[in-house]
Amino acid sequence: MKLAFSTLGVPGLPLTDVLALARTHGYHGVELRAHPEEPVHPGLTAAQRADAAAAFASAGVDVLGLAGYARVAAPGADEPVIAEIRALLDLARDLGAPFVRVFPGGGTGQSPEEADATAARRLGTAAEYAADLGVRILLETHDSHRTGADAMRVLGLVGHRQVGALWDVMHTWLGGEQPAESFAALAPHLGYVQVKDIASADDTTPLPLGAGVLPLSDCVEILSRHGWDGWLCWEYEKRWYADAAPLPDLLTPGREHLSRLLNESA
């Protein structure tokens, strides 16, 4: 498996510094938070996109994916959501990123069936555009669809190879799923896996990998046992927790922890 980290852990850091961190600390790739607060987002010009892609190529670091904020199950009109996904897909194509992350984002007042149908309809429409660009849309286990079983209700309705799953191990755990259950649900559609650690279900402040309660060793063991050879991406949510320790000092110990888990499960 290859290792990446998310720029959510180093909010607003210039791209050259992000790439230097990846190279210095031994990560193969970076997940880019695609938001106007960040140096890479859908508002970039063609020249800026070309420069960003060239910087990654020169550094020998992969763009794992774009972490977008489209909420595919949210109430309201379809077209603004689909347009947001298409803009992310265009940016991913220009940067050479294989994946775009979207959230479920189902709202209050919806039944689960309504949320599932809304998400599936929008993802199915966007999937055709994604196929033309060679980019996959990944529905993250998050918010209204926190577990693998929740995500699979949507993915089963979509039934398109360009739409898959992003397994956030914190959310499936908070949703009461065991790693084996999450993997069984998501495996046919799995794009990559977001790892992290927290103190408890009541305190989700990010911690160094291995310092909290999340079943990371179980997750890695299950992935390894089934021969899954994709990406593990450390999503350290510094952007939302100002008091969390700075990520750069944790990157090497985090990589070493994941490497130990991989060696133990080999």
CATH architecture of residue range(s) 2-265: Alpha-Beta Barrel (3.20)
Residue 123 structure tokens:
């993802």
Is residue 44 helix, strand or coil?
Answer: coil
Amino acid at site 153: R
At 8, list the tokens.
């959510």
**DSSP element (H, E) containing 265:** helix 251-265
Among 20, 156, 138, which Cα is nearest to 68's? Answer: 138
Average pLDDT of the chain to the nearest whole number: 97
Asked whether the predicted pLDDT for residue 266 surpasses 90, the reply is no
Report d(CA 197, CA 185) in Å as an integer.
22
* Confidence at residue 236, expressed as pLDDT on a 0 to 100 scale: 98
pLDDT digits (tens, 9 = 90+) for 150-209: 999 999 999 999 999 999 999 999 999 999 999 999 999 999 999 999 999 999 999 999
Say what the pLDDT of residue 109 is. Answer: 87
Phi (first) and psi of residue 13, to 5 degrees: -70, 135
Ranges of each domain in the chain: 2-265
